[in-house]
Amino acid sequence: MLPIPYGRQHITEADLQAVTETLLSDFLTQGPKVAEFEQKFAAYIGASYAVAVANGTAALHLCALALGVAPGQRVITTPITFAASANCVLYCGGEVHFADIDPATGLIDLAQVRALLEAHPRGYFQGLIPVDFAGLAVDLELARELADEFGLWLIEDSCHAPGGFFTDSQGREQRCGNGQFADLAIFSFHPVKHIATGEGGMITTNRADLYEKLLMLRTHGITKDPAKMHRNDGGWYMEMQQLGYNYRMPDMLTALGISQLQRADEGLARRRELAAQYDAAFAALPQVQALAGAPGHAYHLYVVQVADRKGLYDFLREKQVFAQVHYIPVHTMPYYQELGWQPGDFPRAEHYYAHCLSIPLFPSLTDEQQQYVIRCIREFVER
Ligand SMILES: *Cc1c(COP(=O)(O)O)cnc(C)c1O
């Protein structure tokens, strides 16, 4: 039963078989499994197009490139995210700005985004990267209205939320990454994420123009499509038309992704069940404050806030429960401080960071393990 990590991948016999079959096939890198995974993932999310890439960070980088981020451009994101959500702008020479969070949800506060946009002339900012933090979907309908009003593009960082959704003003469920409101959305298949392939990522979109750009950028900026080439010297001929990268996801990992995708709904249902059990336990413990839930929450993380976070973290470690902190605010990282950001710039994010702890949540966590975690937390806050 012990130790208990905060997150863990779940690998089945079917997963092993899918990878072995691909290893023994003719293709290790760009084979038929890549297109199959892309097509099945797009269908799952409800987007028109999907592009499999090396990891979530590569996905963010390609999105920023496809949308034309360059020196002199400014992009807004949240300080409570993994650094890659902000770093992708810097990779392209752009400038990162932050808007503070809504303390009830941990998500970027769109009212703060509006205040930031209104404090500058129109055209000062080019893009917004909201994050479906912990698995709770950002209201992208509102974000789109803001983006249209101020002329911004939108990248939805959905790494935490495959299968999550929010309900729009018409009462329709809008799945994270479905491309209805955001120009592009990205996912990661890092081991703690819902679908775990080790390394791996996906970009989804409904925009054919961006889809074409992403395909080129993923593979060195090279095309082999005769319809797109300037000339054709023969069967071997291909053209490098722009500066791209090798950001491909290999066939054997996409085979693992396809196998895991088949269990995605099952895993999501278990995450929601565990979250509801935590909610019920902590409702009786006023010293433990959970982040707000919602019907479409995908529960990548279950975050609690307590007065003595370091105390609880250390206490749980002694009990062999390995909780984690998500996240250290990006603007307080030494690299970002060198860019001029300072402690105190985003007080809600910093207050949240001082108290937050992600406790174990993953589909194979047993009820018995969860009860143990709850007992440990209760023991700590009541002593
Ligand atoms: C995991 C994650 C990433 C980066 O994904 P990698 O596959 O690890 O590169 C980006 N953004 C968020 C919010 C993440 O959780």
* Whether the predicted model's global pTM rises above the 0.95 cut: yes
Closest CA to 307 of 225, 214, 224, 377: 377
Mutate to test the pocket of ligand 1, among 82, 91, 136, 301 (most ligand atoms within 8 A of CB): 82
Task: Give the pLDDT confidence of 193-231 residue by residue, as tens digits.
Answer: 999 999 999 999 999 999 999 999 999 999 999 999 999
Note whether 270 and 253 are same-domain residues.
no
Q: Is 383 exposed, middle or buried (0-12, 13-18, 19+ CB in 10 A)?
A: exposed
Q: Give the domain range for residue 375.
A: 264-382
Query: Taking the mean position of all CA atoms in its chain, how far away is CA 293?
Result: 18
Domain termination residue (choose one: 261, 284, 314): 261
Question: Does residue 9's CB lie within 6 angstroms of at least one atom of ligand 1?
Answer: no
User: Checking DSSP bridges between strand 289-290 and strand 302-305, what pairing results, if any?
Assistant: antiparallel
User: pLDDT band at residue 352, thresholds of 50, 70 and 90?
Assistant: very high
pLDDT beyond 90 at 18: yes
Integer angstrom CA distances of residue 6 from 2, 53, 169, 191, 326: 12, 26, 35, 12, 11
Instruction: Supply the CATH number for residue 363's domain.
Output: 3.90.1150.10
**Residue-wise pLDDT tens digits, 135-166:** 999 999 999 999 999 999 999 999 999 999 99
Q: Token pair for residue 70?
A: 């360059």
Check residue 30 and give its pLDDT.
86
Backbone dihedral angles phi then psi of residue 5, each to the nearest 5 degrees: -80, 170
Which atom number of ligand 1 is nearest to the Cα of residue 60?
10
The total domain count for the chain is 2
CB of 78 within 6 A of ligand 1: the answer is: no
Residue type, 262: Q
**pLDDT, mean of residues 114-124:** 97
The kind and range of the H/E element at 118 are helix 110-118
The structure tokens listed for 153 are 């593009």
Q: Which residues contact 137 (CB under 8 A, 6 or more apart)?
A: 161, 164, 165, 166, 174, 176, 294, 296, 297, 298
**Is 132's C-beta closer than 6 angstroms to any atom of ligand 1?**
no
Answer yes or no: do 222 and 274 share one domain.
no
For residue 29, pLDDT over 90 is answered with no
Q: Hey, whose CA ends up nearest to atom 3 of ligand 1?
A: 56
Q: Express each pLDDT in 228-282 by its tens digit.
A: 999 999 999 999 999 999 999 999 999 999 999 999 999 999 999 999 999 999 9
Same domain, 140 and 45: yes
**Local structure of 262: helix, strand or coil:** coil
Residue to probe by mutation, ligand 1, list 85, 108, 303, 324, most atoms within 8 Å of CB = 85
CA of 55, closest atom in ligand 1: 7
Q: The dihedral of CA 290, 106, 192, 293: what is its sign?
A: positive
**Which is the closest atom of ligand 1 to the Cα of 84?**
10
55 lines ligand 1 (CB under 6 A): yes
